[in-house]
Structure 1
Amino acid sequence: MFAAYITVTAVASVFTGFAAVIYLIGHDYPKAQADMKRIPRSWVPRLGLLLAAGSAGLLAGFAVPVAGTLAAAGLVLYFIGALVAHLRVGSRNLLGWAIFFVTVVAALALNVAYHW
């Protein structure tokens, strides 16, 4: 259980951390996604900060378990919001979303199972 918890949490942190960097450096992909989902581009850095906070919180959870649980729960909510944004505009391109969502749900489930 411990190895699965560490591995999945680390993978979720890397995934969300990488996405945060892409959002924060002003890469064209998040801007195009924001345009497609009819989200103001001014939200892109804020969304990147949320991803960065979630990524850091997952890592902090190794030292402070409640921080990891809250970060994982926050990321699950973030990706539920992303799903709503996709569906609102009729986008059915959900593979990337599904990979992130399954990863953060697994991180949350393993965090809860291991610590609580």
Structure 2
Amino acid sequence: MSTAAVVVTVLAALMAGFSGASVFFRAAFVVQPLAEYGVPRAAWNWLGAAKTAGALGLVVGFWVPVIGTLAAIGLVLYFAGAVITVIRARAYGHAPFPLIYMAPAVAALALTR
């Protein structure tokens, strides 16, 4: 695995892990928009768990590459869903935020293939 792939994968894992932890700790900058978008509170822990699992999967992927690939795909799909949720809520100015988190997952996927 190239140095670039390792750096991008670690960055993607850190960003997804931070995002997942932000949901678990109910950081206002994360949960306030979720409420505004109409995401039910009952789903918040599941969303945090999905991001955290993706982050862990990326790290495990260093030893079991198929897990890393699946985790990257899962994170890309997760953040694509987040973009769709933001657009459906007509919060167009917020659409770049999930894309910022998606970008390193896409790059990790591309560099590790």
Match of residue 74 from structure 1: 74
The count of aligned residue pairs is 112
Match of residue 29 from structure 1: 29
TM-score normalised to structure 2 length: 0.93
Match of residue 90 from structure 1: 90
Q: Aligned with 1:62: secondary structure?
A: coil
Q: Which runs of 5+ in 1 are unaligned?
A: none
Give the root-mean-square deviation of aligned CA atoms.
Answer: 1.1
- Give CA deviations for 1:13-40 in whole Å, capped at 9, x if unaligned: 0000111111112222322121111110
Letter in 2 for 1:12: A
Worse-matched range after superposition: 52-61 or 101-110: 101-110
Retained in 2: the 8 A contact 1:30–1:44?
Answer: no
Retained in 2: the 8 A contact 1:54–1:72?
Answer: yes
Return structure 1 stretches of 4+ with deviation > 3 angstroms.
none
Letter in 2 for 1:98: L
Match of residue 48 from structure 2: 48
Q: Which runs of 5+ in 2 are unaligned?
A: none
Retained in 1: the 8 A contact 2:20–2:51?
Answer: yes
